[in-house]
Structure 1
Amino acid sequence: MAAIDNTRSVHHGAHFGSIFARILATVSAWNDARVTRNALSRLSDRELDDIGLSRGDIERAIR
């Protein structure tokens, strides 16, 4: 009869690292969007038009 070995080692540290990496990536993306939104909001309507945006396009442009 064949024996089945269903033991495995669980690496909680790797799981925690994965969760931490996703949280860090989410916070980093949020911060990048915040910085971009602030920079575009400081531009004049003429400057926005020069880059093909209107003030109403800012939110859509950062996504």
Structure 2
Amino acid sequence: MAAFDTTRPTYGTSSLFGRFSAMTASLLAAIVDWNDARATRQTLGQLNDRELADIGLCRADIDRIAEGKPVF
């Protein structure tokens, strides 16, 4: 005999509110990531070539670092 329990709460993103909050959290994370990359580009862009060379970088490396990619 099969039984179906309807009194147990559902967890996860199956409800409309759960999907909305997951979408909102995803959007917020994207905005935070974009702002971090923007701030990194701005800060590194203010350094002169000598200062960049002191930390082992060149101007071409700034975008890769802001995107979180490794610089070889």
TM-score category by the smaller chain? 0.7 to 0.9
Name the CA distance, whole Å, in 2 between partners of 1:19 and 1:26: 11
TM-score, normalised via structure 2 length: 0.72
Residues 1:43 and 2:43 are matched in the alignment: no
Question: Structure 1 counterpart of 2:25, which letter?
Answer: A
Q: Does 1:12 align with 2:12?
A: no
- The whole-number CA distance in structure 2 between the counterparts of 1:43 and 1:37 is 10
Q: Give the SS at the match of 2:57.
A: coil
Aligned length: 62
- Equivalent in the alignment of 1:29: 33
Inter-partner Cα distance in structure 1 for 2:27 and 2:64: 23
Q: Identity across aligned pairs (percent)? A: 45
Aligned-residue RMSD, C-alpha: 2.0
> TM-score w.r.t. structure 1 length?
0.82
- DSSP-derived class of the 2:36 partner: helix
Letter in 2 for 1:17: S
Unmatched 5+ stretches in structure 2: none
More helix by share: 1
**What is the CA deviation profile of residues 21-45 of structure 1, one whole-angstrom value per residue up to 9, with x for unaligned ones?**
0000001000000000000000011
Point out where structure 1 has 5 or more consecutive residues left out of the alignment.
Answer: none
